[in-house]
Structure formats: structure tokens, C-alpha cells
Amino acid sequence: MPSKKKKPFYQHKFFLSILFITGLSIGGYFLYIWWMEKQAGFAHYPAFGISLPIDYSIHGIDVSKHQGVISWSDVQQMKVKDVDLKFTFIKATEGYSRVDWQFRRNWRRSKEAGLSRGAYHFFLATKGGAKQAENFISTVKLEEGDLPPVLDIEELYGARPADVRKRIQEWLNIVERHYGIKPIIYTSVDFYTQYLGSDFDEYPLWVAHYIQKNRPRIEREWIFWQHSEKGRVNGVVSAVDFNVFNGDSAAFTQLLVK
């Protein structure tokens, strides 16, 4: 049987060189991606399905009936690298009489799972603030360790901005008197700038803005930022909004109901 010829040494050396260059190229690519993400202020987390801002340590979600039945223990247990979820905002009420059909379950189960919870009211701009405040108050019983109540205002529905501001202020005043804590306003950057402005600068702001990756494009101070509406979390079957808190754990604790 004829013996096999050995490959010349230069062919082995060429093959090893190709492997080295390929490995160097792949490593350089991932290093470049890491550097670009760091410059942009975010990093991609495949398990969450989205990129997360890197300069914030406290992350959370907000939910409503649209997320269906949630396994809150799965939500609480999910951790990807250095990120887990610490809080949730839950839709409670809308308008004069509507109560989100998943609110009471979400409210109870999220607390049992160990998340800090907050409740929000979806404000109908064409209706009075007092009756909407009554709907929220009759539904939501805040306890020690809960987040402040939230007014969610997103649309004018044809109402005059001046009238809407009066109705919003009415809701805020009644709710603050009842709970003894200043409510948070949730809205988008554009809505706040166009229709609310300096009239409500004294209230904590939870702002929705999906374009910039390091911070929302708004000049005034804010405490929560909804940076994506396409996140994925264990225990939730549909996409979910992701948020960050603008501060450290001490500041977050200070915000909670005492």
C-alpha cells in the first residue's frame, strides 16, 4: 500500500494563519459592537428582545389587560446578565367607571412576587377630572412600599388644551389629597412639550420616548423613562413596555409610599 504524502509545512502554516486572522476579525467585530453600544449608551439583551440603556440600574415594566394573564413569579425570577426587573406599573382604571379586568390580579400577584408596584389611571381628556379621580381612588388602595399613583395622559381627543390642563389639575389635586403623596404624570415627550409644559413641572414625570438610546429628549427632570414597547419577559405572552428609573436604589426607596 502506498504511503500517504505529508502536506508541506507551508500549507499548515497558511491554514493556521487563516484561522488566526479569522479569529482576530471575529474578536475585532464583537469588540467594535461593544464599543459602539457603549458610545450609544445601550446594550442588546437577546433574552429581553430589545436593547437596554446601560447607565441605569433599576429596570421595570408596565402592563394592562393587553398582556393577558401574567406569571409574576416568572417575571421576578428572570435575570439576564446584570439585569432583573424591580418594579411594575399596572393599569387600574380609565375614565369615569372602567376598571382594567386584570388589575386586581396583577396588583396582588406582583406584590406577592416581590416587585414594587404602582397603579395608573388612563385619563380621558374630554371628561372631568373629579369623577375620574373618584374611579381611581375607589379602585386602588396604596400600601407602604407602593409607588405613587400615576396619571396617564396621551391624547386630547379633540378637547381644547386649556380645558384638558384644568381637568388634569383637578385629578392631580384630588388624588394627592387622598393619598398624601404627589402623583406622577405619564406622557410622551411631544405631548408634554406641546400641551402640558411648565404648568406641571412640579410633578414627577414618567416619560415615553423610543428614539434616543441614552436618555429621553426632554429638558425637564424626569424619574421614569419608558424606552421600549417591544420587550419580552418570562411569564408574559405578549410584548411589554420597558422602563428605567432615573436614580439609585436609595432614591427609588425614597420615592415609595411610607
Query: Looking at the annotation, which residues are catalytic?
Result: 62, 154
What nine digits make up the cell of 9? 509545512
3-state helix, strand, coil in the chain (%, to 5): 40, 25, 35
CA distance 113 to 109: 6
- Contact between 95 and 132 (Cβ < 8 Å): yes
DSSP string of 186-210, one letter each residue: EEEHHHIIIIIGGGGTTS-EEEE--
> CA-to-CA distance for 74 and 96, rounded, in angstroms?
33
